A and B are shown apart, each in its own frame.
Chain A
Amino acid sequence: MATPAARPLGAQPGATRPARSTPPDAWLKPGIFVGSLVPLAYLVWRAATNRLGANPIAEIENELGLAGLILLVASLACSPARRAFGWTWAPRVRRELGLLAFFYASLHVAVYIFIDQALNVSAMTADVLKRPFITVGFAAMVLLIPLALTSTKQSIRRMGFKRWQRLHYLAYVAAILVVIHFFWRVKIDVSQPLIYAYVLASLFVIRAGVWLLQKRRPARPVAGAG
């Protein structure tokens, strides 16, 4: 799939214009970056103007956590989206989405530690050890840390792609844990966590399908990414 978006007009005359003045889809990553900060800005605005409702701390925790989960699932959807729909731009924003997910997850945990529990270490320890829903959320956060730390190109080079890729499959494990965290947190209505469970499951199905196809035809070119 070509990306006609980036070079329509400019490609024709080209006289004074260097061949690649603009990288393909130069707007994509900044656009996603700015857009992904909107939920945070919306939270800050409501917090500053006292519009978060009667229980603002709970609201902040919920929204930060949910935004983190959505971004994590979106990052995991990138390569399946390329496989399934030929969206070649999707893998290019995967790292960015993953890091933004980590950013929201960190804020979510920070609010829990510093405001919700107000640094009450014994209460937090009891939570992590005794409350399965916090245990799995904590585990997911711990899993995301090495992924964020090794998100650079240098890390891929240093570790070798295979090893790096194997490490980053942990993102799937983290996402599953976050969905479980969500399921165990809601009082009774599981419709919301169910949506994310379905999305994750369909990503696994696409991955499994791709894997099966590749197994049948081992010499499949990987050119599609270009």
Chain B
Amino acid sequence: MGRAASEPPGREITPEGLFVRRREFLKTGARGAATAAVTGASLVWLSGKAPPPDVPETQPALAEPVALGAPAFTVDEPQTPFQAVASYNNYYEFGLDKGDPVRTASTLRPRPWTISVEGDVLKPRTIDIDTLLQWFPLEERVYRMRCVEAWSMVIPWLGFPLSALVDRLEPTGNAKFIEFTTLNDPEQMPGLRIPVLEWPYVEGLRLDEARNPLAFMAAGLYGKMLPNQNGAPLRLVAPWKYGFKGAKSIVKIRFTSTQPRNTWNVAAPNEYGFYANVNPAVDHPRWSQAAERRIGELTRRPTLPFNGYANEVASLYAGMDLRRSF
């Protein structure tokens, strides 16, 4: 900086040398800023994620809260905020990132909606969702939800027991399993264009599992209708199993005598089984299932056998090797 600045010839005239150097300085600065901008923007574009949108709680109410009695099953743990439940979703039909469904699921049309009932039943038929919802009194169930990816939530579902639906649909004596199929409409579900899983998404339960009092069909959460990204208009909730068992946006229920295929088992049979019971003693081949991160908490907590529902469901698996039937 020395020379030119030390002896300014006058206030009005900038000396040529300083003029040139300042231009060079500004140019260097501008190029540096441009380099920083390009580098920063590319890195953020490649590695960063935009903040999730706020989910407006505009879902219509499904039932008067006063009409709901005390839940048959609840959890003495803080409930996961609606915002997190409705913006952190594994729903590949709406994109592979857990932040995608909240942005893309608005294309799903949960009304009008029908569910076809097929297979080993007395009367195969197609049922309108609103008819079906009137068959049973809606009740609330506060369940833990444990994802196979080692995170978990506590969610107040609204719906009816699956056992009631099974009874109403009258499976024949041949029926040993129940299979749920998710909607397969690329117009409503942009993620279906990516063949990352075999579409449509199918899941299943043994019929005695389906009849267990814990097995639940949810049409709502937090007292409101299910947001699309949570599986509107009707989804399965089996809280002692990993979350992927919970088929969403169900369009078909089929009773079968043989064990149905289930999508994640087809995709990676050594990693995901048919049973998928939450089991801290049986790790995923690539990561531990011994602990989980409860959404909203920083550190991990131990995972409980059957996700804390061993008293209710352990007897279903008496005599089975849960290491092999994972």
Judge if A131 is at the interface, Cβ distance under 8 Å: yes
Q: Which of B3, B20, B32, B196 contacts A10 (CB 8 A)?
A: B20
- Evaluate contact between A188 and B21: CB separation under 8 angstroms: no
- Evaluate contact between A188 and B43: CB separation under 8 angstroms: no
Judge if A154 is at the interface, Cβ distance under 8 Å: no
11 residue pairs bridging A and B, Cβ less than 8 Å apart: A27-B31, A28-B32, A31-B39, A35-B41, A36-B40, A43-B48, A54-B84, A55-B293, A57-B293, A118-B298, A185-B286
- Evaluate contact between A55 and B88: CB separation under 8 angstroms: yes
Seed contacts A16-B16, A53-B99, A66-B46; 20 additional CB < 8 Å A-B pairs: A6-B28, A9-B23, A9-B24, A21-B24, A27-B31, A31-B31, A31-B36, A32-B39, A34-B32, A34-B36, A35-B43, A54-B84, A54-B295, A55-B293, A55-B295, A57-B298, A130-B283, A131-B288, A188-B197, A189-B194
Closest 3 CB pairs of A and B: A35-B39, A31-B35, A16-B17
Which residues does chain B contribute within 8 Å of A133, judged by CB atoms? 286-287
Which residues does chain B contribute within 8 Å of A118, judged by CB atoms? 298-300
Complex CA distance for A5 and B24, rounded to whole angstroms: 11
CB distance from B14 to the nearest CB of A (A): 12
Judge if B291 is at the interface, Cβ distance under 8 Å: yes
Per the 8 Å Cβ criterion, residues 25-60 of B in contact with A are 27-41, 43-44, 46-49, 51-52
Per the 8 Å Cβ criterion, residues 22-44 of A in contact with B are 22, 25-28, 30-39, 42-43
Judge if A162 is at the interface, Cβ distance under 8 Å: no
Complex CA distance for A128 and B63, rounded to whole angstroms: 49
- Contact A27-B39, Cβ < 8 Å, known A15-B17, A43-B48, A133-B287: no
- Evaluate contact between B47 and A17: CB separation under 8 angstroms: no
Which residues does chain A contribute within 8 Å of B288, judged by CB atoms? 123, 126-127, 130-131
- Contact A17-B21, Cβ < 8 Å, known A26-B28, A55-B88, A55-B151: yes
Which residues does chain A contribute within 8 Å of B299, judged by CB atoms? 115, 118
- Evaluate contact between B298 and A115: CB separation under 8 angstroms: yes
Specify the chain A residue showing the minimal Cβ separation from B97.
Answer: A189
Specify the chain A residue showing the minimal Cβ separation from B17.
Answer: A16
Q: Which of B16, B33, B151 contacts A13 (CB 8 A)?
A: B16
Complex CA distance for A9 and B30, rounded to whole angstroms: 15
Specify the chain A residue showing the minimal Cβ separation from B37.
Answer: A35
CB distance from B21 to the nearest CB of A (A): 6
Complex CA distance for A104 and B279, rounded to whole angstroms: 34
B binding-site residues for A, Cβ under 8 Å: 3-4, 15-17, 20-21, 23-24, 27-41, 43-44, 46-49, 51-52, 80, 83-84, 87-88, 96, 98-99, 149, 151, 194, 196-197, 267-268, 283, 286-288, 290-291, 293, 295-296, 298-300
Which residues does chain A contribute within 8 Å of B87, judged by CB atoms? 53-54
CB distance from A61 to the nearest CB of B (A): 11
How many A-B residue contacts, CB cutoff 8 Å? 158
Interface string of A165-195 (1 = CB under 8 A from B): 0000000000000000000110111000000
Which residues does chain A contribute within 8 Å of B298, judged by CB atoms? 57, 115, 118
Main DSSP-derived SS at the A contact region: helix
- Evaluate contact between A10 and B21: CB separation under 8 angstroms: yes
Judge if A70 is at the interface, Cβ distance under 8 Å: yes
- Contact A131-B287, Cβ < 8 Å, known A31-B31, A31-B35, A63-B47: yes
Complex CA distance for A58 and B147, rounded to whole angstroms: 14
Judge if A109 is at the interface, Cβ distance under 8 Å: no
Q: Which of A36, A58, A120 contacts B39 (CB 8 A)?
A: A36
Complex CA distance for A153 and B242, rounded to whole angstroms: 53
Complex CA distance for A16 and B20, rounded to whole angstroms: 9
CB distance from A130 to the nearest CB of B (A): 8
Specify the chain B residue showing the minimal Cβ separation from A127.
Answer: B288
